Amino acid sequence: MTEKESATENLISDAMATPSPAKSMGEPGITPLSPSHIQEETDQVPSGPSFVVVVAIDFGTTSSGYAYAFTKEPECIHTMRRWEGGDPGVSNQKTPTTILLTPDRKFHSFGYAARDFYHDLDPSESKQWLYLEKFKMKLHTTAELSDQTGGDFDNNDVRWVITVPAIWKMPAKQFMREAAYKSGLVTRDNPEQLIIALEPEAASIYCRKLRLHQMIDLGTRTTQNGHSPTDNVGGQMTPAKEHGRRNRQSRTFMVENVIGELWSELEEGDRYVVVDCGGGTVDLTVHQIRLPEGHLKELYKASGGPYGSIGIDYEFEKLLWHSVEHALRKSNVDFVKWSSQGMLRMNPDAMNALFKPTIDHIIQHLNELFERPEVSNIKFLFLVGGFAESPLLQQAVQVMLQGRSRIIIPHDVGLTILKGAVLFGLDPSIIKVRRSPLTYGVGVLNRFVEGKHPPEKLLVKDGTRWCTDVLDTFIVADQSVALGELVKRSYTPARPAQQVIVIHVYCSERENAAFISEPGVRKCGTLRLDVSGTESGAARREIQTLMQFGDTEIRAMAVDVATQRTVRASIDFLSH
């Protein structure tokens, strides 16, 4: 075998209905049949198992929380009212995303308890402990839910929802799923019990339910002399006025079982933007309303970046490192002073300077987004996430929009994603159309065509001329993909006794990628088909594979055509 043959992918695209070349590679190989390029689209998602309760976990960079609702009372969303160890006099519906490990690296505590215990340690002793913060790795169990509701739940009765930023790639989403498996939250045998929710999508779903008294409408007014005409913008961020039932441990929010009053102003085809301003990232998504059901269609692939509020922490740390140190040495810096109570006082200009770099990144990204044709005629812009409470950010967005869209901020803005994730778990089919963030496909051999294919890609095998490294595309970047859309391919094992078929998956940010060897095209995953136990007397076994797109994760299903037996199919993005 030549070096070129060794580098050739395991797939053959037999578009001209001629026999596939023989396969003799060292790794588990396949000789594929002609792949079908027909995409099947459906507006109906197969109904999954029924659940008694939906529990959503929001892992924020700075704080985390959970909420839940019973399927028989979907309009009642329960959140934690107070976490153990929370700050006195505060309704702590989230806890810091912090974890404390003992000197022998065993789990000790999480959240407020971890923070307080670590801070109370003697400085010399604390060096032996491991204190982690601003991460997303803590999972809860059903025991806490049972304690709060007074009932016993079988784990199979619970549908779990974990939120992730929309800009996260497939490996990060799979990491969260693997963490859930390893924690015992759900099992691999029941993957439908856990769904991954994209944070701005969850916020968008909740905003559909908003009533007028549950939000702050900054309107379409522009700022004047650097200040918003809306009186006391920051001061309006008061606790939610939603009708709720409270008890000692939990807080219950009542949401509309139909679309809210704000949504009644929307017409078929109206567009809006959700800007999720969290601690670590800012996510932006663009949705279009589809009536009469109120389903949502994504108009532009999710975008954003690491422009969260922790950027302000970073600027403050720089200030302490440079300005305060200089002030202590020179004692002639007038914008930073120590008070008699031991506090650091800063004038407004110095405080605004801490926010400026992070807010500038957000505004720049918004400007770029609004320049795209898909993002024209935006009716509403929803500001959500804890950072959305910042008056400086609100005013900057008002200046940028200049009255082009109405700016809406939900009450309890820090819980918007959490409550929306519960609603998503109750109805995962609410987002009917999404945009693919990347181009996905596999490497194949195609019949070589003079003048079309590069000469360096020519491979002659058994007298047949093939073009190597061709990218057989499943989905292209920024393509509209319906929920449950299927891409069908058929493959056959290279050897009759072969037990496993391994196919490499490639991706690219480009829409027109043609070869797997092009710059920007990279191996991103592995499709694994376990064909053991499906042997038949047929000389050639055909394995039909269905790749499902349009959801928050990519799924694979397969069946042996001759026996109609299900073939275990999985996609691994985490190992690449």
- Residue 119 pLDDT grade (very low, low, confident, very high; cuts 50, 70, 90): confident
Q: Which residues contact 46 (CB under 8 A, 6 or more apart)?
A: 484
- Residue 229 pLDDT grade (very low, low, confident, very high; cuts 50, 70, 90): very low
* Least confident among 151-165, 189-203, 376-390: 151-165
* C-beta separation of 194 from 180 below 8 A: yes
pLDDT digits (tens, 9 = 90+) for 283-330: 999 999 887 777 899 998 888 888 888 888 888 888 777 766 666 666
Backbone angles phi and psi of 499, in degrees to 5: -100, -30
Question: Distance from CA of residue 152 to its chain's centroid?
Answer: 31
Domain 3-34+438-572 in this protein, CATH class: mainly beta
What was the pLDDT predicted at 5?
A: 41
Q: What is the mean pLDDT of the chain?
A: 78
132 vs 467, residue with greater confidence: 467
Tokens of 51: 């659940």
Angle at 469 between CA 37 and CA 40, to 5 degrees: 15
For the chain, what percent of residues have pLDDT higher than 90?
35
Pick the closest to residue 117 from 85, 159, 152, 155 (CA basis). 85
What is the pLDDT averaged over residues 382-391? 91
pLDDT digits (tens, 9 = 90+) for 481-517: 999 999 999 888 877 778 898 999 999 999 999 999 9
* Least confident among 114-128, 246-260, 414-428: 246-260
Measured CA to CA in angstroms, residue 89 lies from 83, 118, 366 at distances of 12, 22, 37
Three-class secondary structure of residue 451 per DSSP:
coil
Which sequence spans correspond to the domains of the chain? 3-34+438-572, 100-132
* C-beta separation of 49 from 192 below 8 A: yes
- Residue 17 pLDDT grade (very low, low, confident, very high; cuts 50, 70, 90): very low
pLDDT digits (tens, 9 = 90+) for 432-453: 999 999 999 999 888 999 999 9
What was the pLDDT predicted at 332?
A: 56
Angle at 389 between CA 387 and CA 391, to 5 degrees: 110
- Residue 107 pLDDT grade (very low, low, confident, very high; cuts 50, 70, 90): confident
* Ranges 35-49, 272-286, 472-486, most confident: 472-486
User: pTM of this prediction?
Assistant: 0.78
What was the pLDDT predicted at 41?
A: 42
What was the pLDDT predicted at 115?
A: 85
Whether residue 33 has pLDDT greater than 60: no
